[in-house]
């Protein structure tokens, strides 16, 4: 799954456009590094952080 799709699917943002803006504004990190590429392909076990939200790809999102 791509990063922008993941944060939208997780319910952290309401639209794909908002996901794009948040990623390009450097508010999202993957595995401890800021990620600005919304098309970044995530793999199982990647850790995604967005503000107070944290998810491990492949685990249920609460």
Task: Examine the pLDDT at 60 and tell me if it is beyond 80.
Answer: no
What is the reported pLDDT for 45?
Answer: 96
What is the reported pLDDT for 56?
Answer: 95
> What's 3-56's CATH class?
alpha beta
| CA-based nearest residue to 57, from 19, 11, 1 | 1
pLDDT, greater one: 59 or 1 = 1
Domain range annotation of the chain: 3-56
What is the average pLDDT score of the chain?
94
Q: Please state the pTM of the whole predicted model.
A: 0.89
Task: Examine the pLDDT at 28 and tell me if it is beyond 70.
Answer: yes
Q: Are 44 and 8 in contact (CB under 8 A)?
A: no
Looking at the chain, the whole-number percentage of residues with pLDDT higher than 90 is 92
């Amino acid at each position: 799954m791509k990063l922008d799709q993941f944060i939208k699917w997780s319910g952290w943002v309401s639209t794909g456009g908002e996901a794009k803006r948040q990623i390009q504004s450097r508010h999202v990190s993957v595995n401890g590094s800021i990620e600005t590429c919304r098309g970044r392909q995530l793999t199982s076990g990647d850790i995604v952080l967005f503000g107070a939200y944290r998810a491990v790809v492949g685990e249920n999102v609460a």
